[in-house]
Chain A
Amino acid sequence: MKPFDYVAPTTLDEAVHALAGNPAARVLAGGTDLLAQMKGGRREAPLVVDVKRIPDLLSIRMEEGGLRLGAAVPCIRIATNADVRAQYPALAEVASLIGGTAIQGRASIGGNLCNAAPSADAVPLLIVLSAVARVAGPGGIREIAVEDFCVAPGKNALGEGEFLVDLFLPKPAAGFKAHYLRFIPRNEMDIAVVGVGVSATVTDGQITTARLALASVAPTPLFVREVTEALVGKAPSAEAIAGAAALAEAAAKPISDMRAPAEYRRHLCGVLSRRALTAVLQ
């Protein structure tokens, strides 16, 4: 690893200044991606800006209309937060799915999103929870829908000098359920071969909202909008689920690599979508 400069701002303004005019600078939250990349020689950073001392990035709080989740909050705090567990149980689950206990003490959901890996476990769930990212930068504050946040493998929608401040998750309506299902060949220490996030609201026996997003089958986490169109307005049924799962399978654009062949990933999209939708619609 090459030597680098390190700063730890304590306010959003300080962080904006630290990052300004330094396009090669990298933001450090938990560091479980960045530090591994730097140690492995896959990324160099002349300046590392540690955002873990900025209070906005470390808070979890319920607000009018939803949950505001600081970008650097470690997974263990999310998984054990009473509000999250009560209102967003699928988010608590995914936070305890990422890494082992030690990693969960550092790794953040915000970092998982910013790293923009196609296999990121949290992102499909954030998409189906309709999360919105709030980012700060030289141009002030702006918002980006999570499904638009990842633009290519390892690339996000942040402009020069911008960083993620927090995520806003709308308050779930009555009858709303969400679920993330991941397939890995081992039972731990593995990268999703396919991940499926689903959410749906059932009101009076009718599906009123439905979202499905996939991990590891496209250059970015993939929001399958067709599933929403196919399910909303229908009654939950095995046929409806099978149809939606087929759409997910068709939408996938997987590649073959050392983690799995493309055709197997596509097959899994159908199997996992069916299982995840069954879990939220049954």
Chain B
Amino acid sequence: MSTSSYNVIGTRPPRHDGADKVTGRAIYAADFQMNGLLHGAMVRSTHAHAILKRVDTTKAAAFPGVVAVVTADDFPQTPDRIVDLGEGETPVSHLRGNVLAKGKVLYQGHAIAAVAATSLQAAEQAAKLIEVEYEPLPCVLTAVEAMAAGAPLLHGGDTNVTAHVHHAMGDSEAAFAGAAIVIEREFTTATVHQGYIEPHAATVLWNNDGRVNVWCSTQGSFVVRDVVSCLLDLPVSAVRVTPTEIGGGFGGKIPVYLEPVAALLSKKSGRPVRLVMSRRDVFEGSGPTPGSMMRVKMGADADGKLIAAQAFLAYEAGAYAGGMVGAGAMCVFAAYDIANQTIDGYDVLVNKPSTAAYRAPGAPNAAFATESVVDEIARKLKMDPLELRLRNASREGTRRADGPKFRRVGCVEVIEAMQAHPHYSAPLGEPSHAEAKRGRGVAIGYWFNIGLPSSCVISVNADGTANLIEGSTDIGGTRTSIAMQAAEVMGIPVDRIHPAVVDTDTIGYTGVTGGSRTTYATGWAAHDAAQDVIRQMKLRAAKLWQAEAVEFADGVFQAGERQMTFAELAGKMSETGGPVVGQASVNPRGAGGSFAGVIADVEVDTGTGKTTILRFTAVQDAGRAIHPSYVEGQMQGGSVQGIGWALNEEYWMNPEGRMMNASLLDYRMPTILDVPMIDTQIVEVPNPAHPFGVRGVGEANIVSPPAGIANAIRDAIGVRLYHLPMNPPAVAAAMGGQK
């Protein structure tokens, strides 16, 4: 689809924050400096499940250099209530209990106490002097074990299941009875972490005037503001959060961990306090995405029309309710038009860190199951796997089992682009050695994306430039993709707009950078704010020219014979009424969901079981690609993370619930040498519910890679794997290579 009707959208300008980032000047959370800064250290649980019998801070408090020590008892003990602070509905006691454990620890790495001292060394040594007496309890580490009768219970009651999601339409049982082919398989996936390169870090100053200032790395400054004020029993206006640059998040920097603790330490000490997680803390104390067990059953008629589907999804919630199974249940069959469906999802407590969002949270697990079964059906029917998918693809009007009917979506167009891609018809090539086998796999996936509120303010400068302020942490180049939408409206090059991400006092409420919503929703706010600017400037021109009506097109204001560029008119602001400031707030519904797919070629070494990705093509519907390079970057990033899920990443826990590979050495995310150049193809099926047709692109790209690689491995070695990761020992075992 052509983007030629636009001047800015669809081009690839340099990013506004590029110079600071490549020269190392950008300030990340742990770089933030203040006079009188104290350094904090945390004490974390060495048990996965235990009663906290005693926490004695006496020796730590007396250690030279220590200024403050806090435990959960230092939080205001407000009565419990349910709040929704940007992460779904949660009891305050859970938010508070995850930040500092009270009464019980629920996972190894659960924070228990913190120390602030004049040096990091003093804080770390003092933290070791805090005496914690545990009464260990049996722990439970997988959803299946936690659902079994007699399992240790994390929060009392009579079950670890905190929610059961049920969606149904048609009659799947009856439809299976009439199906020509029915495949039912069980799948499991490991707990995996987002693996952002920058660990969590926060500095907090509880000022003498009672206001709390926070500088931190977060995907949602307003979420931090609201959680800190809630846990400290302050009005939201008492807390100001300044988001620093962020070194990745992928959903994992939506939850709040350090800020309330640093605030308590600052209140006690009267000085600014900085807390920084180590990589071990990040793995053990922040939220990974759930490990899962899934049973998927699908039936088709002899022509390959899918007629029935059932899914049982059990996802780990981690230590507190509110995991990702709801999203998994929404996405599990979303790519297909299947009349008869039954979907059951269970959110299950286990003694692992409370799970957090991770790029299309819950969807890659479900797609691994569904897309493996669809691949098997295609093999049984001897149908081309893309042809089978195309025959069943969701389109406008297709109803999902969880209720909504799709509006205009790009599932068909994505599959057609995969079919037409030269990769799909290219020969696999000869294996590189006698013990190697090659295979190709495909898979598709869906993510629904979200809306949420966003605000934007644009101030026009007399030199014809404009300052744009917004509240969305910039993770993927969104300063520029937002500014480009304003520039398109204002008819000026994007380098004449200076975008800035500002603190919570300075801009209206803005939701998290998550759900692929930032270019969509904050971009929409920028579009509207830019329109507000143009509306005001037209009035200025009308006043200047004593004209009735002023037209604006391509950066030029015109009334009859008279015309002025944006810059010329900006130069006359003071004589036409003073500064021009445009603003907008939006809370859009109708985030258009995004479909994506992958074609993966692999070579499996049948001796070692190691899988090498030879070629990898990612296809995704962007609606409208505002900045194609950033869209491609998202597609490549999601692909690489999906390759990590597929091949090696996992929380490797011992039976006592200790993560034994909590380092980047042993967690084994893919390095640059483990992935080929990821080929990308953007499909553009404009979202009718956005002024420029934008669909969020951050997430759908991670959904299908694990399944696509599983299908490629099946193609190569003739054996299907049902567990992620498909690491070398697992592949070797599947081939019977082990004795």
A binding-site residues for B, Cβ under 8 Å: 1-2, 183, 185-191, 193, 257-261, 263-264, 266-268, 271-272, 275
Contact = CB atoms under 8 A, between A and B. Distances in A.
**A contact patch SS:** loop
Contacts of A272: 608
Nearest to A256: B729
Nearest to A189: B671
Q: Report, nearest first, the 9 A-B pairs whose CB atoms are least far apart.
A: A264-B729, A258-B652, A187-B673, A258-B660, A258-B661, A271-B607, A188-B673, A267-B738, A263-B738
B668 interface: yes
B660 A264 contact: no
Contact of B607 (A187, A258, A275): A275
A259 B607 contact: no
Contact of A185 (B607, B673, B727, B738): B727
Contacts, number: 59
Contacts of A257: 660
A271 B608 contact: yes
A267 B732 contact: yes
A264 B673 contact: no
Contacts of A266: 739
Interface in B711-739: 727-729, 732-733, 737-739
A264 B668 contact: no
**B contact patch SS:** loop
25 contacts: A183-B728, A185-B647, A185-B668, A185-B728, A186-B648, A186-B668, A186-B671, A186-B673, A186-B674, A187-B673, A188-B673, A188-B674, A189-B664, A189-B665, A190-B665, A258-B652, A258-B661, A259-B661, A260-B729, A263-B739, A264-B728, A264-B733, A267-B737, A267-B739, A271-B607
B138 interface: no
Contacts of A263: 738-739
Interface in B592-617: 607-610
B551 interface: no
B738 A258 contact: no
A141 to B, nearest CB: 36
Given A185-B728, A260-B729, A264-B728, A190 B668 contact: yes
Contacts of B648: 185-186
Contacts of B609: 264
A263 B737 CA distance: 10
Contacts of B668: 185-186, 190
Given A1-B121, A258-B661, 5 more contacts: A257-B660, A258-B666, A263-B739, A267-B732, A268-B608
B13 interface: no
Contact of A264 (B647, B666, B674, B738): B738
Nearest to A259: B666
B588 interface: no
B610 A185 contact: yes
Contacts of B739: 263, 266-267
Contacts of A1: 121
A183 B608 contact: yes
Contacts of B661: 258-259
A187 B738 contact: no
Query: B121, B608, B668 — which one has the most chain A CB atoms within 10 A of its CB?
Result: B608
A187 B671 contact: yes
A191 B665 contact: yes
B670 interface: yes
Nearest to B728: A185
Nearest to B675: A187
Contacts of A268: 608
Contacts of B121: 1-2
Interface string B330-353: 000000000000000000000000
A36 to B, nearest CB: 10
Contacts of B728: 183, 185, 193, 260, 264
B662 to A, nearest CB: 9
Nearest to B610: A185
A2 B647 CA distance: 39
Nearest to A186: B674
Interface in B655-693: 660-661, 664-666, 668, 670-671, 673-674
Contacts of A187: 671, 673-674
Contacts of A191: 665-666
Nearest to B644: A186
Nearest to A41: B124
